[in-house]
Structure 1
Amino acid sequence: MAASPSGFALRMNDTCQGKEVDCGNTVSPYRVCCPEASFCPSQYSVDSCPTASSCTESLVAEPRCANGTWNLNDNKGYFCCLQGMVGY
């Protein structure tokens, strides 16, 4: 897995995969998943951060996915999808 120290989380319409961290619900019916050993601060659950502190400011300044194999999307806010999946 090509994980970054921080990045936007994966939006899934199912459960998180493997050892991913389940950060809860986002836009219904989707869930937010972060790479293993990441944190998802409660104030903005679509962030995957290296600590429990918010990393939103750095992510908005330089948007990227928490896993380099995911695709970054922006629909009134950033989120990531698995390659080959359509984000909306």
Structure 2
Amino acid sequence: MSPEKAQAYWKENISTIFKLLIVWFVVSYGCGIIFINELNAIEISGVKLGFWFAQQGAIYVFVVLIFVYVKLMSGIDEKYGVHE
């Protein structure tokens, strides 16, 4: 792989990671801390939504983001010819 292509690969990889970390930050910090009062106005099965995000929702989103990362990186790997 040429140095230019390798640099483009890593730039796209880091960009993908950064975007997913932003989503995780917004869900875990935003929904669990900043917007908790607004979300607590909504109840699902007797549990306030803000509390749910703080306790479990952020973890579920993190696990989903792992699968999204795998899918996105598979596409990037194929695009640059470094897939297994």
Q: Normalising TM by the smaller chain, what interval?
A: under 0.3
Larger helix fraction of residues: 2
Larger strand fraction of residues: 1
